[in-house]
Structure 1
Amino acid sequence: MSDVFQLCSGDKIPAVGLGIWKIDVDQTASVVRDAIDVGYRHIDSACDYGNEIQAGEGISNAISAGLVTREDLWVTSKLWNTFHRPEHVRPALEKSLQDLGLDYLDLYHIHFPISLAYVAPEKRYPPGWFFDPDADEPTMKEDLVPIIETWQAMVELKKAGLVRNLGVCNFGVSLIRDLIASSPEKPSVLQVELHPYLTQEKLLRFCAEQDIHVTGFSSLGAQSYFSIGMAEESESVIDRAETKSIAEAVGRTPAQVVMRWAVQRGTSIVPKTTKKQRLIENLSLFDFELSEEQMKTISGLNQNHRFNDPGSFGEKAFNTFYPIYE
């Protein structure tokens, strides 16, 4: 199995990338450089992660050290919710490019199908979810913008040579179908939460039929959410007896088994880690294979359980009920 997937554009996205969500600002530059040093070629970033400047430093350090050229790398970023108005799309991209120290992105996503009121970068960056964090009762402030207007502004970025591929995150079939019907430019990539507790077979089948590649985030499920109080350790898929049994059978860690399951399904992944040994382990997925029975066992753990759901965390964390998946 190859360690890249070919997109409808002809470009090839690495099967395993480094997700930099929740990596501390003071660690990001060194982690990104270490990742590139051990073989990573995809860095998955976003305005909202708050560490694109540091990610850019890591990329620059790796290029200066002769580890890679810019053309060797695949860099992804995402348009934040407060920049959906067409007039804000290009400035938002240019801010990410400036922070990352790059002339273009390989992939630019709409981060969520959530359009919030504009917050100027000079006022607060990244803008976050609250419109006014200092208000007595801060909330998210919706600003309804049709997705197609945002998408058309994204298409202009591609025409300008600032972005090679366009994608969407956290979208379902209906929204994607509407985009395809509304624009000659369809998404090259969909990035969504994917793990053995949320296997999303129908969504993957639809994307395969439309030649839209799927990247899974939170590939280890609950593991991504322990530190922010959005999951319990009892919900860990890598601690399941089934996962451990398969790991023992193939001589790999439970985490490697879960990530191999993901790429063997045809989805790329962007796991986050700050440890160099884990970086190496996360890349070491292409010299073993899971049997059909082992794949079925892991898929059989599905509970349709979503950890990253604005319909749940919006109210708990941001005083705003904002479902998008129902």
Structure 2
Amino acid sequence: MSKAPRRLRFGLTVVALELAVVVLGPLWLPDPNAIVDPRGAGLLPPLSKVLVVSLRDGTSLAGSEIVRKPEGLLLRRGSSWEKVPEKLVVSVKPRWYLLGSDALGRDVAARLVKAGQISLSVGVLSLALAVTLGTLVGMAAGLGPRFLDRVLMAFVDAALALPLLFVLLAAGAFLRPSLGTVVLMLGFFSWMGVARLVRGQALLCREQPWFLAAKGLGLKPLRLAFVHVFPHVLTPLTTDATLRLGDLILLEAALSFLGFGVPPPIPSWGSMAAEGFEVWRLAFWLPVFPGFAVALSVLAFATIADGLGELARGERLEGSPA
């Protein structure tokens, strides 16, 4: 068996680290939607520390410095000092913002991790829907009657000719925004490429002697398709699906950036970039972190797909006669 290419190992390492962060990060990061005193903790740069004063009425204040006076606490909120009566104070605790805070004082690191869970989940679920639909249509076109092949491929060609992002934006304008809606939109409008790939592989298998022999034995079409043909489709389908996952993450980010994706207050990398872009002159890092997360994810899945393709080509060369 061929050794895994370096690009494949790099991509798998990046994805494994991303998954570890989005799964384990919420265990020690604060609530991503918790608003902490926008005046005292808003638009903080990375590696900032504030002092959070919890009050008896359930609210909290934040500032960079506290001075204790006999009449109470003096809390520096932004550029001014504010007096807080001692009897109203429940606790004073330091809080670090690893990647800074947004305009509402929410922790960017916590929101980035939560957004990673959302963006990756949307990508995986929509990919599963697209692969399922594409495989069924591709098998029907490649192994079914010729007229069915012509009808299905005419529809696929017409759908592929449309600009996908504009189709998604048009659909999003008429549908109620929700997490499920985004998954369904991405899945239903992304299966055509999968269908074309599966159909091509099925047509290749259709001419093989083993296929003709299996068909001559009277095997049922479903058994013939998914027991005998599908294993030959699986390798190129896996490579295509890995690359497509990065594309779906990018599409979800684009939809959320334009306001047609995951609705607030649920964070996603695209919506975080859009929120940060509004105040980039004051806090340039806010759109940078989610943009980097999207780019890194797309790059990781692209390198995995490239590595899988290289590995498959190497195995075919090893298995071919000299």
Indicate whether the TM-score tops 0.5. Answer: no
Compare CA radii of gyration and give the structure with the larger one.
Answer: 2
Larger proportion of helix: 2
State the TM-score bracket (shorter-chain normalisation).
under 0.3
Q: Which has the higher contact order (CA 8 A, sep 6+)?
A: 2
